[in-house]
Structure 1
Amino acid sequence: MVNRFIGALWHRLRGPLQWRVMWLAHATFMVGVTGVVRDDEGRVLLLHHRLWRKDTPWGLPTGYARRGETFEQTVVREVKEETNLDVTPGPLVRLTSGYRLRAEAAYEARLSGGTLRLDPREILDAGWYAPDQLPEGLIASHRELILGKTPVARQ
């Protein structure tokens, strides 16, 4: 009897109200999105991030997805904001969860245009690196992404 009542009530809620109930009842996460940006020579774009730890300041372009934005759109936007470069997103190469309030997605991306101009609020330096000549101070998980040593889905 109770289950029938709950089922009938659920069907009457419809659309936006159902989504609101689901949102309140489940975990809400921020999603960090990383782009493994490569040029035509196979080099990868690495950034010296101003706000990252002093011992691991180098990493790939990364940022948080905005509400209503696909993760591929996040890669394009973040690379543009941080470097003024244009990229075309490729396949998903990593999806991780298990953090308190954060999930992470990483995509391959291909340089498609633009002129390098750094956002000095976030980025101190940038460079194109061959996968076998990565700089010291590169965050370990980004080294794994560059070298293809990470499964697509991981917890």
Structure 2
Amino acid sequence: MILAASGVILQNKKILLLQRSNYTENYPEFWGCPGGRAEKGETAEQNVIREVKEECNLNFSPTSILKTGVWQDRSYYRFLGNWNGEIKLQELEVLDYNWFSYHEAIKLKLSFDYKEIIQLLYKNQLL
């Protein structure tokens, strides 16, 4: 089973979403949170810290797990956390980014389980 994790990054009741490039086989040009597959020996926490840094240059510190699950051959974790830094995209994997309110985000083409994540954040009044 492959481990994968992503960081749910919030600011002023908005969520940071990245638009996936055509580099990926899964959901090209769809939107989602920064994240990806773990490297050999990485924990979910180490994985999300590295992936957020690689994809959008933010320093991410996971504080809680919002959701876990299994998709195809992957065991995934969705982390809430603290962050700082200035966004700089990894252009190979990411086409674009933006901060979205619930009403904006729910209308996007969302990858994986991010529609459910956005609804969960809204229900918990985080978005």
TM-score normalised to structure 2 length: 0.80
Deviating 4+ runs (over 6 angstroms):
none
Query: Deviation at 1:67?
Result: 2.2
Give the 3 Å change call, closer, same or farther, for CA 116–104 of structure 1 in structure 2: same
**Secondary structure, in 3 states, of the residue corresponding to 2:52?**
helix
1:106 aligns with 2:78: yes
1:53 aligns with 2:24: no
- Where does the alignment leave 5 or more consecutive residues of structure 2 unmatched? 122-127
**RMSD of equivalent CA atoms:** 1.9
Aligned residue runs from structure 1 range 1-155, under 5 A: 29-39=1-11, 41-50=12-21, 51=24, 52-54=26-28, 57-97=30-70, 99=72, 101-111=73-83, 113-134=84-105, 135-139=107-111, 141-148=113-120
Q: Which has the higher contact order (CA 8 A, sep 6+)?
A: 2
Give the 3 Å change call, closer, same or farther, for CA 48–89 of structure 1 in structure 2: same
- Where does the alignment leave 5 or more consecutive residues of structure 1 unmatched? 1-28, 150-155
Report the number of matched residues.
Answer: 117
Alpha-carbon distance between aligned partners in 1 of 2:54 and 2:86, rounded to the nearest angstrom: 12
TM-score normalised to structure 1 length: 0.67
Please say which structure displays the higher CA radius of gyration: 1
